[in-house]
Structure 1
Amino acid sequence: MADNNTTEITPWSFLADSGAENYFAKVDYALKNGRHIQQWKEQAFWFRFIANNEESIKQYYRNYFGVSLEHGGEANEKYYYLDFMPDSRGNIPVDNRHFLQNEFVIVGFMLYKAIFIDNYIELSSVKAFQRILRQDYEEFKEGLFRVLAKAKSLKITQMTEGKMDSTVANAMKAFEKIGWIELQEDNFEVLPSFQRLPKLYADYINNIDEWIKTEATK
């Protein structure tokens, strides 16, 4: 026998939440601009609002914008983001979509390698990260120059340490914009949602040393 007391969840049920007036506009703006939301400082309020209304908000974005509310991580590492459906690019205006440039993705690979593979676990300075790429990863420099030059549509002779430093600085700003890191001038902290990078590019990251060294021989 059906339970007649069960409340049907709809694409607008979340509007009945007491936090909707305070949080939904900010959550909606952030998600549509490619930001990842997690339990971090002021985002924690947004995160709890989504978590308390997850099924309703999922329906809202799927039905009205053709995109999917997704999550990664577990427990305190959980984060939310919007993703495109397999057969649709969604109804979110192009100006609101944030795509990482290829050279920024490559910088992300190297940041992941430094912290999570090579155990630079205390790395929290953009300048220190730039210095690591220039000095500690000398054997990767030629390959890194080549993949960055290709991503930026430059000749290999046009790629310099200065251009690499500039690319790293701009990449870190892009990571902050989508909520992968918190950036305060030169200092940064990697957030749980940065783990979406290896989820998207596992094949590259799992073989990053070989990939970059191979690029150096091309």
Structure 2
Amino acid sequence: MDNQFKEHDVILNFSFLGHRDVQAHFADLNIALLSGRHIQTGEGYLFTLVNHYQDEFKIFYRSLYGLELKQAKVDNTNYYYLDFPEEGKGKLYTSDRFREMTSWEIIVALMLLNMYYERSFEQAKVINWEIIQKEIMESELAPLYKKAFFNNSIREFYTNSEWKVLFDKFKRVLRIFDRWGWIKLQTVEEGEFVFLIRESIDRFGKLYQYEISHFDIFIEQINQKK
């Protein structure tokens, strides 16, 4: 009897899917969340929908996917994302929807996280390829960035072809981060990109605390595997 009641209770909670605003935008929201997107303040109808029905969506994703809909707040900006429950990995863990970040993605994300906090007093954290190059060559972490991005080679000068290879790799990673909601790409063209670092990049800091705290060791481990 108790189990029947619980199942009925869940069905009642799913009745919100019949609401007009949910029907209009649920497909987009569901695809975005399941693909790993972080949906934050300012994303129009997606944020409005998940924010308004957050309690209902928490039950929905927990029941159907074994995932937790979570909310976080950074610099007065709220964002939502799906995560695995603490007691298990959820139903999508073994599917092709789940994967760990690659070493390249971790390094780029760490750089962007540092740049975000360095610009804490700037309302819009707008970054382009020239700023990335300067960060690699002149920042406090420049020796480690050079090791990571240029095959363990620390120099004062890199050729145009070396920068071109690095640019293409960055562009691919940035497209992934754009899908995840950590950045917003504004311009992508030959030899240039412009993007905005979004508040939800904070999630990376929570996921990879060890790599951030031991970045030098992490870089050495990567280079040893090459």
Q: Which band: TM-score by shorter chain?
A: 0.7 to 0.9
Unaligned stretches of 5+ residues in structure 1: 1-7, 150-154
Show the counterpart of 2:117: 116
Show the counterpart of 1:205: 212
CA contact (8 A) 2:75 2:199 kept: no
> In 2 relative to 1, CA 34–18 (structure 1 residues): closer, same or farther, beyond 3 Å?
same
AA in 1 matched with 2:205: P
Name the Cα RMSD after superposition. 3.5
State the secondary structure of the residue aligned to 2:181: coil
Residue 51 in structure 1 maps to residue 54 in structure 2: no
CA displacement at 1:213 relative to structure 2: 8.7
State the secondary structure of the residue aligned to 2:167: helix
Show the counterpart of 2:4: none
> Which stretch has the larger CA shift, 126-135 or 19-28?
126-135
Q: TM-score if structure 2 supplies the norm length? A: 0.72
Deviation string for 1:38-92 (max 9, x for gaps)?
A: 122xx23111211221121111111111111111116851111111223124247
State the secondary structure of the residue aligned to 1:34: coil
CA contact (8 A) 1:104 1:167 kept: no
Q: TM-score if structure 1 supplies the norm length? A: 0.74
* Aligned-residue identity in percent: 22
> In 2 relative to 1, CA 76–24 (structure 1 residues): closer, same or farther, beyond 3 Å?
farther
Residues 55-204 of structure 1 mapped to structure 2, 5 A cutoff? 55-73=55-73, 76-86=76-86, 87-91=88-92, 94-97=95-98, 99-117=100-118, 121=122, 124-137=126-139, 140-141=142-143, 143-147=144-148, 156=152, 160-185=162-187, 186-204=193-211
CA–CA distance in structure 1, aligned partners of residues 81 and 104 of structure 2: 22
Unaligned stretches of 5+ residues in structure 2: 1-8, 188-192
Show the counterpart of 1:3: none
CA contact (8 A) 2:57 2:69 kept: yes
CA contact (8 A) 2:65 2:90 kept: no
> In 2 relative to 1, CA 180–188 (structure 1 residues): closer, same or farther, beyond 3 Å?
same
CA contact (8 A) 1:38 1:80 kept: yes
CA–CA distance in structure 2, aligned partners of residues 102 and 120 of structure 1: 29
> In 2 relative to 1, CA 168–31 (structure 1 residues): closer, same or farther, beyond 3 Å?
same
State the secondary structure of the residue aligned to 2:107: helix
CA contact (8 A) 2:40 2:200 kept: yes
CA–CA distance in structure 2, aligned partners of residues 216 and 201 of structure 1: 15
CA contact (8 A) 2:183 2:196 kept: yes
Structure in which a larger fraction of residues adopt strand:
2
